[in-house]
Amino acid sequence: MNKDFEILKKLIYEINDIEHAAAVLNWDQEAFMPEKGISDRVNQISTLSKIAHEKFTTDKMGDLIEKIKEKIKKVNPESDEARLIKVLDRNYKKSVKVPSELVTEMSKAASLGQQNWAIAKRNSDFSAFVPYLKKLIELRKQYAKIFTPYDHIYDPLLDDFEPGLKTADVKEIFKKLKPSQAELLNKIAEKQKIDNSFLFGVYNKKKQRSFGADVITKLGYDWSRGRQDTTEHPFTTNFGIDDVRITTKIDKNYLPTGLFGSIHEAGHAIYEQGIAKELARTPLAEGASLAIHESQSRLWENLVGRSLAFWKYFYPKLQNIFPENLDGVSLEKFYKGINKVAPTMIRVEADEATYNMHIMVRFELETALVEETVNVKDLPEIWNLKMKEYFGITPVNDAQGVLQDIHWSMGAIGYFTTYALGNLISAQLWECINRDIRDLNSQIEKGNFDTLLHWLRNKIYMHGSKYEPQELVEKVTGTTINPAPYIRYLKAKYSDIYSL
């Protein structure tokens, strides 16, 4: 087996290098590339995507996987080698069904989609984006149909981000979650409104960025293995375990955008930087799934970053940086302000009590698009109706409505669900963390995040994608993804803030 395994590793290392080279080009496209560079960039990325796909789907690769599968049965099924073969076998069986021409076409459509989405959003003109989104949806449906039979056409798309999860599973989770969140929101609506006007105003961008960098450094982001840049829609990308980069968007007129965006993306990056070195250059050297990834970004952003304990340490420093904005604003007022519950047009600025409702809107629209019960051209109108139904508000333009997110322009249909699932997982983990680290709040109040980071690295990060998401959640918490801890968390937090 050793000889075959070494040949296999050499092949997957090459594929990994090609994929990360494409990731560098994608990162540059979002962060630095001039607008007219799109034509060349589309060709470059699609060529690399095609090469990686063709290298992975050769008969030689399939034969090696099958040969090693038979020999590895005697090896510990929890070992890196056994898990690598399991993941490769799964990925190969999916990838070999997809024609390289379709891979190339999807890559081109995604590059063009992102570029034209940015222009359409800037001009708040959805009609300019319609032909690109139509193409992306058609390609994703074409891709999904390769994997028939399925229970729902959305299943193969969801499976790309959440291995093993079905559309029916998500619907069942949301069915349990929605009434509890709606009930909480109704109770909060009856209470006196919280003043968060101090979060608006003129906040120097350079100072915001400096403070945000200090915060994520304290949390554990390793700058020798990463960097931060600004983009229209923040994201995290990696070109290997030792090169994990984040981006942020800073709004000079609203403090939370840059601050919590930085913590959110750092949460993703700290996860990637914590993967065991032994898994480098293999498919195991990435997050277990998008929901597990989001559980980390949301855990650091919300359960840590929006906690009272966190601001007992950081608020005096923030006040000192922005005295003209925060003089006279007490710690309690600031804490309540950053946790104010109110319907908002923009998902990334939504509070914890309403955030999942944004995801439910997108989930309903995504499934309708691939079911062909909604036409792309009608999305703005339907989007606005959904926002009115869920939040009682209507977007004033396309930029604040249907064009606000980058995901559809990337062809990432099936992605949005992972944000809500990540919230649920974060609360499940948080209950376990507080059980194991009894003085966690006290540590956070002192600006000490080492014990928390150590727990997460050992329980989650180091494993990369050795385990499927439901498997990993159950290993750590004792149950699969469960809404109950998140509901408990929200009720406890907002009962205190709003005296429910």
* Residues 172 and 67 occupy one common structural domain: no
The Cα–Cα gap between 453 and 65 comes to 35
Is there a contact between 246 and 266 (Cβ–Cβ < 8 Å)?
A: yes
**Collapsing DSSP states into helix, strand and coil, what is residue 247?**
strand
* Residues 188 and 92 occupy one common structural domain: no
Determine whether 265 is an active site residue: yes
pLDDT for residue 349: 87
* Residues 119 and 206 occupy one common structural domain: no
Question: Per-residue pLDDT averaged across 445-466, rounded?
Answer: 98
Instruction: State residue 248 phi and psi, 5-degree precision.
Output: -145, 165
Task: State the chain's mean pLDDT as an integer.
Answer: 95
Kindly state whether residue 153 falls inside one of the protein's structural domains. Answer: no
Written as one letter, the residue type at 338 is I
| Residue labelled with tokens 């049965």 | 73
- Cα angle vertex 92, ends 86, 96, to 5°? 160
Kindly state whether residue 71 falls inside one of the protein's structural domains. Answer: yes
- pLDDT tens per residue, range 21-75: 999 999 999 889 998 998 899 999 999 999 999 999 999 999 999 999 988 888 8
Domain end, chosen from 105, 132, 159, is at: 132
* Residues 125 and 259 occupy one common structural domain: no
Number of domains in the chain: 2
pLDDT grade, residue 331 (50/70/90)? Answer: very high
- pLDDT tens per residue, range 271-310: 999 999 999 999 999 999 999 999 999 999 999 999 999 9
Q: Which is the catalytic residue, given 30, 265, 366, 468?
A: 265
- Cα angle vertex 15, ends 9, 21, to 5°? 135
* Residues 34 and 118 occupy one common structural domain: yes
pLDDT for residue 35: 85
Kindly state whether residue 299 falls inside one of the protein's structural domains. Answer: yes
* Residues 253 and 124 occupy one common structural domain: no
Kindly state whether residue 148 falls inside one of the protein's structural domains. Answer: no
* Residues 305 and 390 occupy one common structural domain: yes
Kindly state whether residue 162 falls inside one of the protein's structural domains. Answer: no
Question: Per-residue pLDDT averaged across 448-457, rounded?
Answer: 98
- pLDDT tens per residue, range 342-392: 999 999 889 999 999 999 999 999 999 999 999 999 999 999 999 999 999
Question: Per-residue pLDDT averaged across 182-193, rounded?
Answer: 92
Domain end, chosen from 132, 154, 180, is at: 132
Kindly state whether residue 28 falls inside one of the protein's structural domains. Answer: yes
Instruction: State residue 75 phi and psi, 5-degree precision.
Output: -85, 150
pLDDT for residue 2: 84
Domain end, chosen from 108, 132, 156, is at: 132
CATH number, domain containing residue 300 = 1.10.1370.30
* Residues 197 and 314 occupy one common structural domain: yes
pLDDT for residue 1: 60
* Residues 461 and 330 occupy one common structural domain: yes
Question: Per-residue pLDDT averaged across 189-208, rounded?
Answer: 95
* Residues 112 and 184 occupy one common structural domain: no
pLDDT for residue 396: 94
Kindly state whether residue 159 falls inside one of the protein's structural domains. Answer: no
* Residues 106 and 172 occupy one common structural domain: no
- Domain enclosing residue 90, as ranges: 2-132
Q: Across the beta sheet with 228-230, what order do the strands follow?
A: 228-230, 244-248, 236-238
* Residues 232 and 305 occupy one common structural domain: yes
pLDDT for residue 432: 98
Kindly state whether residue 146 falls inside one of the protein's structural domains. Answer: no
